[in-house]
Structure 1
């Protein structure tokens, strides 16, 4: 049984949340990872709601309440919930263009013994997660 070695990550103001997480995984030893937890703040958050093909912008500052998902070698699948300045909570699929306002504090769990890839799935019509054990070289 492999031991999980989670590591913390802080994203700075101006970072694109999704791009930064994809980059962090490609630059860290250990390969793919799952996002265990994430909090922080965004400006003009962008989420794709269930059943929609395009993202919705939630204007102004917002707080990240939850962030979770998988970071495969060829893409991410991330969901988050945010709160607006008036306390309204919305959630959905994380797209590119979510700009960190003050900070994003994230805990990643790398999975060095596994290969995670997103591949077409005929039953859903989307690229879905395929999990394989890493073959020793």
Structure 2
């Protein structure tokens, strides 16, 4: 396992920045282990919702975790607003960094991640294959 420590800058889109990590490094599998920082607004898809909700204003990233594959990411985030209310769910495009985002990514060079349609869930789900033949 290799690790990357990322610092995103004001105006960066959180999801787009993480989606580009594998493209830049030539890897096929990674996990976001931890993330903190601030956003100037967020798009979060709540559990069971069809579309992302838009949350405006200054937000603190409390947690960020997920998997990264060449086919796209699956990221969960929780944020708090200026009144301390907490919102969480799937991080969608449109989570804009306000001051910084500090993110720890674990790159898994022995693994290849892909997202394939799962008829049971109806979503593109993670398909993890170990190149060395080990099973997960």
One of 24, 33, 37 as aligned partner of 1:36: 33
One of 40, 52, 76 as aligned partner of 2:73: 76
One of 118, 121, 124 as aligned partner of 1:124: 121
Moved over 3 A (4+): none
Cα deviation, residue 30, structure 1: 3.6
Corresponding residue for residue 87 of structure 1: 84
Corresponding residue for residue 21 of structure 2: 24
One of 92, 103, 107 as aligned partner of 1:106: 103
One of 45, 48, 66 as aligned partner of 1:48: 45
- Cα deviation digits, residues 10-57 of structure 1 (max 9, x gap): 111111100000102210144321000000101121100000010101
Number of positions where the alignment pairs a residue of Structure 1 with one of Structure 2: 133
The normalised TM-score by structure 2 is 0.93
In structure 1, stretches of 5+ residues that fail to align are none
The normalised TM-score by structure 1 is 0.93
What RMSD over aligned residues (CA atoms) do the two structures have, in Å? 1.3
